[in-house]
Every structure is written in C-alpha cells, then in structure tokens.
Amino acid sequence: MDADRQIVHTPVMVAEVLEHLAPERGGIFIDCTVGLGGHARALLEAGASRVIGLDRDPSALERSRAALAAFGDQVELVHSDYRELTDVLDARGISGVDGVLADLGVSSLQLDAPDRGFSFRRDDVLDMRMDTSQGHTAAAMLAAADEQTLADVIYTLGEERHARRVARAILTARSQTPITTTGRLADVVRRAIPRKGYSRIDPATRTFQAIRIWVNRELEGLDGFLGRAVGRLNAGGRMAVITFHSLEDRVVKHTFRALQSEGRITIRTKRPVVPAPAEVESNARARSAKLRAIESAKD
C-alpha cells in the first residue's frame, strides 16, 4: 500500500469546534486551514450551508477534495495562505461569512508523509515547507543563515535556552557537510544540548519547531489576519482558532482581547479550551491544542 494512503487523519477538538461555531445556524463557513478535510466535513454534517476551505499545501487540497467530494458544490477548496482570506472572499463577491475556523497546527499529512521533513522520527529530506510549490526549504535556509540569525530564530521561535550552542553546532556541522536531512539535523541538535537526566521531550523538538515556524512564516501577520477575519464576520458570526504552541496562543489571546476592547467582538472562551483527557489518550497530537473562540458584535 502507498505510504501516503496509510496516513490516518484525526481532526482535533471537533465537538468543541462545533459547539463554538454553531454551524447548525447555516450560512457560509471558512475553514482557513482545511488540511485533510476533517473539520470541514464536521461543519457540513452539522448544518453549514457552504464551506470554503483554504490551504497552502497542494497535497492536502488533493486529499481533502477527494474526502469532501460527496458534498458537491457545498464545498469549494482554494490553494491559498489563510492570511489571504480577504482576497479569496473578494474574488468571490462575498462580503460576510457566518463562521471562520483556523486550525494552525501541522497536519497529519505533513507530519506523516515522506519527504516533507516536518518530523525527526525518521530520516527525511529537510524540507518543512507547508506550500511545496514555493519558498525556500529548511535545508536551504539553514545553509544560508549566519550564526546570529539562527540563534535568534531558535531562541525566539523555539524558546530554546541553548539556542546559541545549537546555532554554533549547526554552523560547524554544515561547514563539514551540508545538512540536508532531518536525521542529521536532529543529531546535531541533540549533541549540542547538555543532557541532565531523563526528559520526555526530545532535545531536538524546540529547534525543529523554531525552524518550521521560520520557514513557513507562521507568526508573520497572524494578528492582522485575525482582525481582517473578524471584519468579515456577519453580525453574530463566530470564529474559532486552534493553536499548538504558546507563541501562537499568545498572539491570538492578546489580539482577541484588543478586538473585544474595541467593541467588535465578545470572547466566548475566558480561558483556552483544551482537549478532553479521552481525546488526548486516543490522539497524542491533540495534547498541546488550545482553542479560543469569539462572536462578532451584533447590530
């Protein structure tokens, strides 16, 4: 069986998404990161009249197109970065929508498919691009960056306190042989970080997170996107955002608070909603998920 066909997709916090977006109201819903289509399917089955799914990963769109084919013209899938949401809506003459979902995590396809380079669980090509049709690979960016840039990226985006040691180790290693695989990068990082007893987190985890965020510019424009998305909600429309690391969650939290202070929204989740223990037990990737939701001010 083809390796890609073996990928199991389990959308995160489906019940919580449906509770806060209330698709039974009908209307147009936007899935800004449609991935393999799990959340979009749930929205449609719960009553959404139409779902427009965006994703910058062409492979994900191909899979979700097949997964959602039964819904016919209730679904439209668009190859686009979620930050281009307003352009996508303008191109379709849509001024307002009833719900917006942004699941900002890495998809199962990206983590599990070969030659994507998101995981260090196996030795893979060091790519890490969510959109494989454009941009520089992680290998290319690591090859070109200076030590200070790398240290700043790893410290700021990975919250790795040994960032300078890791950056120096990467430069030393690449001077000998280009770093082109996940296995080699993980090995370099592990050797650079002092080990003090057992840790449930692999020493390479934070550096890989940092490089992935850097390659895909995941934090750039996130606050602006949230504001623009809220601006496209109809009165009483709802938005839910799922994050998987503290940097994204912090941006979402502070942006929603600012929008509420302006009277544009009401925050529905005083604290981030986290997965139920049963979901974490059945899907380990849900462990770090946090959901925040808002409702647009009514006329």
| 121-180 tens-digit pLDDT | 889 999 999 999 999 999 999 999 999 999 999 999 999 999 999 999 999 999 999 999
* 223 in any annotated domain: yes
Q: Are residues 27 and 43 in the same domain?
A: yes
pLDDT at 114: 78
Q: How many helices (H) and strands (E) does the chain have?
A: 13, 7
pLDDT at 110: 78
pLDDT at 5: 42
| Confidence at 12, pLDDT banded by 50, 70, 90 | very high
* 120 in any annotated domain: yes
Pair 212, 248: CB distance under 8 Å: no
Q: Are residues 49 and 96 in the same domain?
A: yes
Q: Are residues 146 and 193 in the same domain?
A: yes
Residues 250-272 have a mean pLDDT of: 97
pLDDT at 8: 52
C-alpha to C-alpha distance for 137 and 153, rounded to whole angstroms: 15
Q: Domain ends where: 216, 232, 250?
A: 216
Residues 204-229 have a mean pLDDT of: 96
C-alpha to C-alpha distance for 282 and 15, rounded to whole angstroms: 15
Pair 229, 241: CB distance under 8 Å: no
* 110 in any annotated domain: no
* 191 in any annotated domain: yes
* 269 in any annotated domain: yes
Examine the pLDDT at 6 and tell me if it is beyond 60.
no
Q: Domain ends where: 216, 239, 273?
A: 216
DSSP string across 86-113: HHHHHHTT---EEEEEEE-SPPHHHHHS
Residue 158 exposure: Cα atoms within 13 Å on the Cβ side: 28
The percent of residues in the chain predicted with pLDDT above 90, rounded, is 85
Q: Which of 97-106, 198-207, 222-231 is predicted with the least confidence, judged by mean pLDDT?
A: 198-207
pLDDT at 298: 79
C-alpha to C-alpha distance for 82 and 6, rounded to whole angstroms: 27
* 265 in any annotated domain: yes
| Confidence at 1, pLDDT banded by 50, 70, 90 | very low
Examine the pLDDT at 55 and tell me if it is beyond 60.
yes
The secondary structure of residue 48, as a DSSP letter, is: -
Q: Are residues 91 and 135 in the same domain?
A: no
CATH code for the domain in which residue 81 is found: 3.40.50.150
Examine the pLDDT at 234 and tell me if it is beyond 90.
yes
Residues 105-121 have a mean pLDDT of: 81
pLDDT at 285: 84
Count of the separate structural domains present in the chain:
2
CATH code for the domain in which residue 140 is found: 1.10.150.170
Q: Are residues 24 and 57 in the same domain?
A: yes
Q: Which of 56-65, 74-83, 111-120, 232-241 is predicted with the least confidence, judged by mean pLDDT?
A: 111-120
**In 3D, which of 87, 67, 64, 75 has the Cα closest to residue 30?**
75
C-alpha to C-alpha distance for 78 and 65, rounded to whole angstroms: 10
Q: Domain ends where: 197, 216, 235?
A: 216
The percent of residues in the chain predicted with pLDDT above 70, rounded, is 96
**In 3D, which of 103, 122, 104, 102 has the Cα closest to residue 112?**
122
Q: Are residues 188 and 239 in the same domain?
A: no
* 7 in any annotated domain: yes
Residue 142 tokens read as 């690591």
First to last CA, the chain: 54
Q: Are residues 138 and 154 in the same domain?
A: yes
- Phi, psi angles (nearest 5°) of residue 194: -60, 135
pLDDT at 198: 67
Q: Are residues 209 and 231 in the same domain?
A: no
Full domain range(s) for residue 84: 3-104+219-296
Q: Are residues 96 and 230 in the same domain?
A: yes
Q: Are residues 234 and 94 in the same domain?
A: yes
Q: Are residues 76 and 10 in the same domain?
A: yes
Residues 29-49 have a mean pLDDT of: 97
* 111 in any annotated domain: no
Q: Are residues 208 and 223 in the same domain?
A: no
pLDDT at 113: 77
Mean pLDDT of all residues belonging to the chain: 93
Sign (positive or negative) of CA dihedral 284, 222, 90, 257: positive
Sign (positive or negative) of CA dihedral 212, 213, 214, 218: positive
Q: Which residue has the higher pLDDT, 264 or 108?
A: 264
